[in-house]
Amino acid sequence: MKIIDVIASPGLTGFYFDDQQAIKAGAAHDGFAYLGEPQTPGFKAVRQRGESISVMLILEDGQVASGDCAAVQYSGAGGRDPLFLAEEFISIIMEEIAPMLIGQNLDSFRHLAGQIEDSKRPNGVRYHTAIRYGISQAILDGVAKAHQKTMTEVIVKEYELPMVLEPVPIFTQTGDDRYDNADKAIIKRAGVLPHALINHVETKLGNHGELLLDYVEWLRNRVLSLGGDDYRPVLHIDVYGTIGIAFKDDTEQMVNYFAKLEKAASPLHLRIEGPMDAGSIKGQIEQLKSLRDALKVRGVNVEIVADEWCNTYEDIVKFVDAQAADMVQIKTPDLGGIQNTIEAVIYAKKFGVGAYVGGSCNETDAGGRTAVHVSLATRPDQMLAKPGMGVDEGYMIVHNEMNRTLALLKYHFHGHELMRP
């Protein structure tokens, strides 16, 4: 099956682009917007609408395969590629990427996605991670349609993985509405919650960690009272380095604090993402490993999740090799082609490190659905409900795609095939 044409359309994402540099410098809220001038190149406001580009591959039998190019909320920050705006990148896709795709056979996802991943612009620069991300989604969808398979089956076959017909836990994020949205996640019986966006010491963590401690106690009590006796989700909280700030990166103080958090969460299991930000990948690996080792010595069973400075496939390999964290977040748009997420999950699991297929609230429904197939094939410990910050929409998209796919796979492997002569 060949690709005979490529078309593209501008779109919106499930959240917004935020100028992290301006926010860290003190940009104040103005309703849902921010006051002040943007500081990161490309931004016209501190908060502006998230944009995407849908890429559609026209197949020779008339089918259409698609994927969405999208970037994370904090684009242009922390070494990431610049702000991804549709009007600036759609012409690049049509003029430079489309000719590479037209006429190609859709016989191997890994081969064709790898070709695009390794390609460079006429000026010798690699294509924006968002472009590689969306194009790889469309290629995966195209190979699946060409072979009349699900995307899950394509990944399982090409990477020689076992087919496991069981769901993957879904991680919901509450954003700043960490109480009402936690209730939503509990009512929907999410496997992992609530993220909680603890990104400021004074107002969210507390100078001595007291605000987060109170929140964890509330969350535990809310799960037990609202969720019932048969619901025990994992608590996963992203603290954006604030614990390191509050406790001045003192490992002993942080271990004492983690012991309090573990007690507050009990009987629920607790994960803390990004406890500190060391300012470099080398420093982050060293500090996370030191904290992880100290927690094990003390018998504190709170898991550490790597996020800051763990952006690319190469970064993930370094964190895994150092055994610096119990789990790595694999932020799908930051890795470029979706094949890099597949390989990152496989690598982390090979060396006994937890894998979290994450991403961004600032993605689209297409990215969320593709991540489901990646997760069903590679079996990470959890996957993110995305896009958006409202719980309901992102959870619905990911949950329903997973259940649809599992039903189809069970029909194919256990129902339909058994009825054939």
- Tokens 């921010």 correspond to 34
SS3 213: helix
User: Which of 43, 12, 44, 46 is closest to 32 using CA atoms?
Assistant: 46
167/165 Cα distance (integer angstroms): 7
Say how many C-beta atoms besides its own lie within 10 A of residue 117's C-beta: 18
HEC readout, 245-281: HHCCCCHHHHHHHHHHHHHHHCCCCEEEECCCCCCCH
User: Which of 270, 264, 335 is closest to 302 using CA atoms?
Assistant: 270
The residues with which 12 forms a beta bridge, in sequence order, are 51
241/244 Cα distance (integer angstroms): 6
191/6 Cα distance (integer angstroms): 38
Annotated catalytic residue, options 145, 204, 331, 386: 331
**Dihedral of the alpha carbons of 266, 271, 273, 276, in degrees to the nearest 10:** 60
Measure Cα distances from 175 to 76, 78, 98, 257, 388 in Å.
21, 20, 37, 23, 9
222/184 Cα distance (integer angstroms): 11
The residues with which 2 forms a beta bridge, in sequence order, are 105
SS3 percent helix, strand, coil of the chain, rounded to 5, is 45, 15, 35
Phi, psi (degrees; rounded to nearest 5) at 369: -70, -40
24/254 Cα distance (integer angstroms): 23
Task: Quote the DSSP letter at residue 390.
Answer: S
53/128 Cα distance (integer angstroms): 12
Residue 101 in tokens: 């795709």
Phi, psi (degrees; rounded to nearest 5) at 294: -65, -35
Q: Does the annotation mark 331 as catalytic?
A: yes
110/130 Cα distance (integer angstroms): 18
Active-site positions read 331
